């Protein structure tokens, strides 16, 4: 399938379906705030695997490298992006992705970009697109970066590895002077193999392995499998899920602590992956609380295969709950910037700002206070964030009252280098060291 329109010279323009679908997806992401993974999943549902893979490569790669492509586009055009139509900018970004990050031949990247502009936007912009893509194609990526990012400062590293400068600053601060910042930035640009989780009592790792997965390095419930997770029967049936190994290890540490008798609470439960794991491990009862009604529905779906009676899902503002201190274990996987999951959310790095973090920190403090107040004396609170940003992690936990810090890395001693460099009692995982999201976990015991 392709789209046709005649050029100003009478030549019939033709755009293949994958490129047009990729362009439409990119417009939704950049103009409507859509999420790349959701858009591409929907857009490629009925495509043959080869074409679907090309769409995902174009969209995810363009979103991930957007800041770098934008700098090259501006240099090649000799003008700022703000002077161009947003749709034209997205055509140029797709052109850069094809030139610098795929096996598409240079002449094909130029020609298809011009044809895409002509059919999707109009003939009036084809001259500009032709000129800019041709100019970009005169040099390889290393040559462009040597000019635009010549140093080793954080601005140059950010441009070279497609991270906003402020994110590079914060990752360096969290990683510490002895950390390998370049290795971390590089790892953020590698799409991870989907990590599956066998839900205790419903599925086993052996079953996932039989479906083509490889056992996870450290999680007793995890298995990695390339391709579409829906191809695995246990996933389609809801007996297993998709969950990063870092998330699984945080739950492993929390549930390995010395816990008193009593029910468990998942305070920020949506969309329900951790809830399903906790439900399979809980010896008594799990209450899963989620502030958003729609996300609470997803939690219910994730728990649907477990027998009723030993869990309940409720919609509740986690900062003002009605319950008192009654839980032996409270898990607070708080809303955060998501800077630890940049591998899986390619567009998110360009949507976050320092203000994003500043706006979330008060909520994180409030949720941790609720978690502490919800926990029995002697019970354990697991404060989890999919972010290494110090303001969202240690900065929140160090202000907690009425708690003692548990040595969390000791509970996953099989995982090397899991201790935070600023305080070895906290877990901080890293993509370049552990192949997981940059997950933070603090375990606190209520006095």
Hey, which residues are catalytic here?
386
Structure tokens of 110?
A: 């130029």
**Does the CA dihedral 101-106-111-117 come out positive or negative?**
positive
**Dihedrals phi, psi of 168, to nearest 5 degrees:** -60, -45
Structure tokens of 319?
A: 């900062």
Residue 272 · residue 306 · CB < 8 Å = no
What is the per-residue DSSP string for 369-432?
HHHHHTEEEEEEEEEEES---TTTTHHHHTT--SEEEE-SGGGGTTSTT-B-SS-TTSEE--HH
d(CA 363, CA 319): 8
Which residues in 214-320 belong to E strands, given as ranges?
A: 214-215, 222-224, 240-242, 264-266, 286-290, 311-315
Structure tokens of 261?
A: 């008798």
- The conformation of residue 45, written as its DSSP 8-state character, comes to T
Strand partners, 311: 286
| Three-class SS state of 445 | strand
């Amino acid at each position: 399938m392709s789209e046709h329109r005649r050029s100003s010279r009478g030549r019939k323009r033709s755009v293949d379906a994958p490129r047009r679908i990729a362009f439409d997806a990119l417009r939704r992401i950049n103009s409507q705030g859509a999420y790349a993974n959701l858009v591409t999943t929907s857009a490629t549902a009925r495509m043959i695997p080869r074409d679907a893979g090309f769409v995902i490569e174009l969209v995810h790669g363009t979103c991930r490298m957007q800041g770098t492509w934008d700098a090259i586009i501006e240099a090649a055009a000799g003008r700022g992006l703000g002077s161009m139509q947003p749709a034209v900018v997205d055509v140029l970004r797709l052109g850069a992705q094809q030139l610098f990050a795929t096996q598409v031949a240079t002449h094909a990247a130029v020609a298809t970009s011009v044809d895409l502009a002509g059919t999707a936007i109009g003939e009036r912009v084809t001259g500009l697109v032709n000129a800019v893509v041709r100019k970009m194609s005169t040099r390889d990526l290393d040559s462009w970066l040597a000019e635009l990012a010549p140093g080793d400062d954080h601005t140059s590293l950010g441009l070279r590895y497609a991270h906003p400068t402020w994110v590079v600053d914060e990752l360096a601060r969290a990683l510490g002077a002895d950390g390998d910042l370049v290795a971390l930035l590089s790892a953020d640009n590698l799409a991870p193999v989907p990590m599956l989780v066998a839900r205790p009592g419903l599925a086993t790792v052996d079953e996932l392995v039989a479906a083509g997965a490889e056992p996870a390095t450290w999680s007793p419930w995890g298995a990695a499998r390339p391709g579409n997770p829906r191809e695995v029967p246990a996933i389609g049936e809801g007996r297993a899920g998709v969950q990063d190994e870092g998330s699984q290890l945080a739950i492993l540490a929390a549930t390995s602590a010395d816990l008193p008798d009593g029910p468990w609470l998942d305070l920020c439960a949506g969309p329900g992956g951790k809830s399903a794991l906790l439900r399979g491990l809980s010896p008594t009862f799990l209450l899963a609380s989620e502030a958003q009604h729609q996300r609470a529905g997803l939690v219910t779906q994730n728990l649907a295969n477990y027998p009723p009676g030993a869990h309940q899902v409720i919609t509740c503002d986690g900062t003002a709950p009605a319950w008192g201190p009654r839980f032996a274990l409270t898990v607070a996987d708080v809303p955060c910037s998501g800077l630890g999951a940049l591998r899986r959310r390619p567009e998110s790095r360009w949507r976050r700002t320092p203000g994003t973090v500043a706006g979330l920190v008060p909520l994180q403090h409030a949720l941790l206070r609720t978690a502490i107040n919800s926990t029995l004396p002697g019970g354990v609170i697991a404060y989890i964030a999919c972010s290494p940003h110090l303001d969202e992690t240690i900065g929140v936990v160090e202000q907690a009252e009425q708690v003692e810090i548990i040595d969390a890395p000791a509970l996953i001693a099989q995982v090397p280098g899991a201790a935070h460099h600023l305080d070895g009692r906290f877990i901080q995982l890293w993509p370049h060291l552990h192949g997981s999201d940059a997950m933070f976990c603090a375990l606190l015991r209520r006095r």
